[in-house]
Amino acid sequence: MKLKDRILDCLPAGRYAFTALLRLLDVVETDAVPTAAVECRAQPRMLVNPAFVQRHANTPEKLMMLVMHELHHVLLGHTRRLPTVTRADNLVMDAIINALLAKTFPQPEHLALFTDFYDDAAFPQCLLRPPPAWPWGAGSLPPGRVPLPAALERSFPGVEVAREVYQALYSSEGASEADLRRLIPLLDAIGLQRVPLLGDHEASVHGDATESSRLLARAVAEVLRQWPAPPEPLKGQSLEGMLQQSRLLVRRVPGNRAALRRLIERIARASDAAPQVLRLAAVERSVDSPVPALSRRATVLRALGAPVLLHPACVAQPEPIPEAERVHLYLDVSGSMEGLREALYGAALDCRAWLHPVVHLFSTRVDEVTLAQLAAGECRSTGGTDLRCVTAHMRRHRVRRAVLLTDGWVGEPTDEDARTLRGLRLGVAYVPGHDSRALRLFARHEVLLAEDEKRAA
């Protein structure tokens, strides 16, 4: 039987709309990839190594999970969201997808793909499989009660963070991609060349704008729309969230201003789960008034003999204001940030209710400007970048909530820098071509600005 027919037989096509999906997706048997990969070209293809299937996915349930794993990469846009993808990035993506599939299909025959392929006693392989004796409630336990795999029972540098992230991933609390990325420095230090991964992510293209690619994303979204929701979706990776993200793959993505505004709002809240609390406050607004007032414009018009009908004035209007601690905005103004100023100004002004009234421009020093000066385009920079001036400023002013907009090339954090960054609620907005290694261990929330809107307000 052909592999495509076997895939069709192992998938509940009548329920999950797989028939339409497989009409778009050409399944190719090849040894050009070690396991499997999806190419989002003009004619989308799923490349599958038949030897791998024969050895590791030789049951209908295992084959189904392999296909689902690859389709999740398409739906979540993993290879398209990041300008470059390292092997550590791949492991983070796989850990999230495998946990989501384990919660959606907790039957032992389905989980066998992960439990047979990945060693419970080896790190970091253990991150890619569910905990021992799964499913004992399929994610219904709090993090502290989630059993640890054998590899995480041992002591080694960084194991505390690994335990915390793994237990959150398979608990009722869930874990986001930002949570998993806290492990990347540890993964980079270990070296991952010998760690087997499902899917040849490096061979997958980043996707293009062809109609076939858009149709593929829609078809995958339709498949998942008919899935039963997992008992406890992953934080930031729920079924609803995935469907919203899949729509973003085929429609206009949110602007950089909106992305920055959401990041600032999240950092302003007391916690990720805390609701937004508003209070009414009097806010001064500039208006035109017939009541005469002294202004430069009126003076000039009178000198020219022109009538002055309206004059500038301020009125106090009630407006709902977030009941939250103000966020300190640190803006990287080194040379690599050129072209993003308009997007930042718009986001900062949109979020003035959440922001500290002074914005911190940093290069190799921190210079402070008001929101009005920022909107007027004022910029002071030495041209370089140094994280130490930022952390020193945070300590001096006892900053508790901060958002950094940067390319990430800020130097290696010292132990003192690390203690400062861990002690606050930090969000980071990266520009295209960024390097997240210096800050990803400390960021509570992250966002990547879109390349095609780099110069848009």
In this predicted model, what pLDDT tens digit does every residue of 186-224 receive, in sequence order?
888 888 888 888 865 554 444 444 444 555 555 555 555
Vertex 140, ends 101 and 270: CA angle to 5°?
100
Q: Are the CB atoms for 420 and 398 separated by under 8 Å?
A: no
Per-chain mean pLDDT for the chain = 75
Nearest-angstrom CA–CA distance, 57 and 112: 9
DSSP tag of 57 = -
Give the residue, 69 or 20, on which the prediction is more confident: 69
Superfamily for domain range 257-274+324-453: von Willebrand factor, type A domain (3.40.50.410)
Q: Which two tokens stand for residue 397?
A: 């002013």
Phi, psi of 293 (to 5 degrees): -150, 150
Residue 244 pLDDT class (50, 70, 90 cuts) = very low
pLDDT one-digit tens code per residue, 371-405: 777 777 777 777 678 899 999 999 999 999 999 98
pTM of the model: 0.50
Sequential DSSP letters for 353-414: TTB-SEEEEESSSEEEEEHHHHHTT-----S---HHHHHHHHHHHT--EEEEEE-S-S-PPP
Domain ranges of the chain: 3-203, 257-274+324-453, 278-322
Phi, psi of 262 (to 5 degrees): -65, -40
The DSSP H or E segment spanning 18 is: helix 18-24
Q: Are the CB atoms for 231 and 102 separated by under 8 Å?
A: no
Nearest-angstrom CA–CA distance, 86 and 201: 9
How many angstroms separate the Cα of 329 from the Cα of each of 325, 361, 448? 13, 8, 16
Neighbours of 168 (CB within 10 A): 21
CA dihedral (347, 350, 355, 361) positive or negative: positive
Give the residue, 24 or 108, on which the prediction is more confident: 108
Q: Which two tokens stand for residue 299?
A: 């003076």
DSSP tag of 2 = -
Enumerate the β-bridge partners of residue 45. 26, 39
Average pLDDT over residues 96-100: 88
Instruction: Look at residue 278 in the predicted model and tell me its pLDDT.
Output: 52
Residue 126: is its pLDDT beyond 80?
yes
pLDDT one-digit tens code per residue, 403-429: 998 888 888 899 999 999 999 999 998
Enumerate the β-bridge partners of residue 242. none
Nearest-angstrom CA–CA distance, 281 and 216: 49
pLDDT one-digit tens code per residue, 306-329: 787 887 777 776 665 555 568 999
Sequential DSSP letters for 334-360: SGGGTT-HHHHHHHHHHTTTTB-SEEE
322 conformational bin, left if phi > 0, alpha if psi -120 to 50, beta if neither: beta
Give the residue, 335 or 161, on which the prediction is more confident: 161
Pairing state of beta strands 401-406 and 366-370?
unpaired
Nearest-angstrom CA–CA distance, 187 and 215: 35
Residue 243 pLDDT class (50, 70, 90 cuts) = very low
